[in-house]
Amino acid sequence: MTEQHFIPKEYKISKEKGQVTWESPSNIALVKYWGKKKHQIPENPSISLTLNNCKTITTLSYSKKESGNDFSFEVFLDGEKKDDFKPKIKTFFERVEAYLPFLKDFHFKIETSNTFPHSSGIASSASGMSAMALCLLSLEKLNNPEITDLYFYQKASFLARLGSGSACRSIEGDLIVWGETKAVNGSSDLFGVKYPYQVHEIFKEYQDTILLVDKGEKQVSSTVGHNLMYEHPYAENRFKQAHENLEKLKPILESGDLDQFIALVESEALTLHAMMMTSMPYFILMKPNTLEIINKIWNFRKNTGLHIGFTLDAGANVHILYPKNEAKVILEFIKNELVVYCQNEQYICDQIGFGANQIKE
Ligand code: DP6
């Protein structure tokens, strides 16, 4: 399949105005996407858990205007006008215009809010861009109600990817693969696909408690971060390793071997940070409290034999992953021993989820 598949035949939307609302979740990668080529094509495959509680809710109001040369839109976050979001959205519109040919025929009002605290350091680009892609694609569906669910979800993921790579993994759940790899049948660089193999029951209700260690502005934007992989001395091996890790994950997900699961996921997280520490320029995105938490998790795991593990994104926050049947004791441990390392003792309890939902037409 190529990009052509998502270029529609010429169409005009007859509806003059209306509104559509989607909620879309965030996701957390187990095998990390780090490094991209032109047009948001990943250098390596990744797989993520879709989250359930951390999400963005976006309402798109559209009204017909004279078709001009420019995009016309305004953005609000929690009811407040956000002109600083506009450049990112404009870039997104430019990237998707070929696939959504009506964009310049409308004025859009984009109203968005997140269920997680703003500037918590949790990436809102995955949930935000996927919600926006879904709202826009709903307009195409108005005119083409016969498009299949498969096409709709693939195209939504394709469009979301053009907004933010990891956003393409937020449309559906519960485990999503993005990036072509021999390890996963049907995988694609263009959109996320549902993980197609057997998954052990233990993962069906997997928990993710997010410790908000540092809520500050991101030290490195994701684009700058991905670009660091261009002339990176270890890039080639890292990309190869991601394919291998996806292959290794298959029997682990099938058997529910949590020790191996934790080893693979923690190694991926530390590898991501190792890539940042060994690029030029180099960054350390963990904070002292990130390391305190990691060491406490390792000690607790050793002492109790419980299946608690962590992963990290490109920042200082820690995602603690564990099975639901161990949640009681692990949550106690988190509250009693780890929350002190969080900014304002903030943390978010989340778990594996099943993707985006349309709330209103
Ligand atoms: C570290 O998806 O935010 O979270 O495509 O430039 O928007 P852009 O990058 P983004 O990168 C996320 C990278 C990561 C790992 C991951 O989610 O796989």
pLDDT at 219 (0 to 100): 78
Does ligand 1 come within 6 angstroms of the Cβ of 313?
yes
Q: Which amino acid is at 54?
A: C
Q: How far is it, in rounded angstroms, from Cα 133 to Cα 158?
A: 9
Does ligand 1 come within 6 angstroms of the Cβ of 33?
yes
* Consecutive H or E run containing 160: helix 149-163
Does ligand 1 come within 6 angstroms of the Cβ of 26?
no
Q: Are strands 46-64 and 175-178 parallel, antiparallel or unpaired?
A: antiparallel
Q: Mapping DSSP to helix (H, G, I), strand (E, B) and coil, where does residue 176 land?
A: strand
pLDDT at 143 (0 to 100): 84
Does ligand 1 come within 6 angstroms of the Cβ of 123?
yes
Query: For residue range 151-203, what is the model confidence (pLDDT) as tens digits?
Result: 999 999 999 999 999 999 999 999 999 999 999 999 999 999 999 999 999 99
Ligand 1 atom at minimum distance from 31 CA: 18
pLDDT at 68 (0 to 100): 79
222 CA → ligand 1 middle, Å: 6
Query: For residue range 217-234, what is the model confidence (pLDDT) as tens digits?
Result: 677 888 889 999 999 999
Mean per-residue pLDDT, 251-266: 98
Q: Name the pLDDT band for 121 (thresholds 50, 70, 90).
A: low
Contact 124, 114 (CB under 8 A): yes
Choose which residue among 89, 170, 181, 222 to substitute to test ligand 1 binding: the one with the highest number of ligand atoms within 8 A of its C-beta.
Answer: 222
pLDDT at 217 (0 to 100): 67
Residue pointed to by tokens 């305004």: 74
The β-bridge partners of 192 are 178
Q: How far is it, in rounded angstroms, from Cα 203 to Cα 253?
A: 8
pLDDT at 168 (0 to 100): 98
Query: For residue range 126-154, what is the model confidence (pLDDT) as tens digits?
Result: 999 999 999 999 999 988 888 999 999 99
- Give the dihedral of Cα atoms 44, 93, 95, 168; nearest 10 deg: 20
Mean per-residue pLDDT, 327-340: 98
125 CA → ligand 1 middle, Å: 9
**Mean pLDDT score of the chain:** 95
Q: Mapping DSSP to helix (H, G, I), strand (E, B) and coil, where does residue 345 land?
A: helix
- SS3 percent helix, strand, coil of the chain, rounded to 5, is 45, 25, 35
Could you tell me the two tokens for 126? 């995955």
Q: Mapping DSSP to helix (H, G, I), strand (E, B) and coil, where does residue 171 land?
A: coil
Residue 123 has pLDDT above 80, yes or no: no
Q: Name the pLDDT band for 120 (thresholds 50, 70, 90).
A: low
Ligand 1 atom at minimum distance from 169 CA: 17
% residues pLDDT > 90 (the chain): 89
pLDDT at 265 (0 to 100): 99
pLDDT at 164 (0 to 100): 96
* Consecutive H or E run containing 303: helix 288-304
Does ligand 1 come within 6 angstroms of the Cβ of 21?
no
Contacts of 331 (CB under 8 A, 6+ apart): 209, 349
Mean per-residue pLDDT, 245-269: 98
Backbone angles phi, psi at 59, to 5 degrees: -110, 125
Mean per-residue pLDDT, 268-289: 97
122: nearest Cα among 353, 339, 318, 340: 318
Query: For residue range 25-36, what is the model confidence (pLDDT) as tens digits?
Result: 999 999 999 999
Contact 249, 264 (CB under 8 A): yes
297 CA → ligand 1 middle, Å: 25
Contacts of 230 (CB under 8 A, 6+ apart): 35
Q: How far is it, in rounded angstroms, from Cα 1 to Cα 47?
A: 20
Query: For residue range 89-112, what is the model confidence (pLDDT) as tens digits?
Result: 999 999 999 999 999 999 999 999
pLDDT at 304 (0 to 100): 98
Neighbours of 167 (CB within 10 A): 32
pTM above 0.85, yes or no: yes
pLDDT at 345 (0 to 100): 94
Choose which residue among 26, 27, 32, 33 to substitute to test ligand 1 binding: the one with the highest number of ligand atoms within 8 A of its C-beta.
Answer: 33
Dihedral-angle region of residue 121 (phi above 0 means left; psi in -120 to 50 means alpha; beta otherwise): left
